[in-house]
Amino acid sequence: MAVQDTYSENMRPAVPGQLVDSSPKTLISRTVEDANGIGFGLPAFQGTSDKGIKNSGTATQFVGITVRERSLRAEADGFKQYDSARLITEGPVWVAAPGAVSAGGTVTLGGVLIPGARYDTSTTAAGQVVQVRLGVVSAPAP
């Protein structure tokens, strides 16, 4: 018996936390400390443990953006406390835009300016998915 017996005619659109493509990227894992967990495609910040993360912090505490984990149950919308969360620290990932954003603009997520990040695509409203590229090196001043 086949595992899947129905197929959609269209591919599902991008979702927060989904990796954009197969371009080079850096992925790490960290342990979720927050009792309420952390969703996919959200910024993660240094926790109290060396390899711990929490869902709020400052730009200097930014560790990476949570990456959607396909091995979790389909209805899961993020990582629970004590889960080993996968984070992207360099490369492209989809996130929910906080509002209208423009390609090339600086990235603010959860009210925090994300260092070394830029929007690779544009949106017209909050909640639309947008590509964020992490690890962008600024051009030297002329």
The more confident residue out of 22 and 74 is 22
Domain presence at residue 71: yes
Domain presence at residue 15: no
Domain presence at residue 104: yes
Check if the beta carbon of residue 42 is closer than 8 Å to that of residue 109: yes
Domain presence at residue 140: no
Domain presence at residue 54: yes
Q: How many CA atoms within 13 Å lie on the side-chain side of 2?
A: 4
Domain presence at residue 68: yes
Per residue in 16-48, is it b (16+ CB within 10 Å) or e — as a string?
A: bbbbbeeeebeebebbbbbeebbbbbbbbbbbe
Q: Rounded CA gap, 103 and 1, in Å?
A: 46
Domain presence at residue 127: yes
Quick: pLDDT tens for 56-110. Answer: 999 999 999 999 987 766 557 899 999 999 999 999 999 999 999 999 999 999 8
Domain presence at residue 63: yes
For the chain, give the mean pLDDT.
89
The arithmetic mean of pLDDT across residues 32-50, rounded, is 96
Whole-prediction pTM value? Answer: 0.86
* Domain extent for 95: 26-134
Please report, rounded to a whole number, the percentage of residues in the chain having pLDDT higher than 90.
Answer: 76
Domain tally, the chain = 1
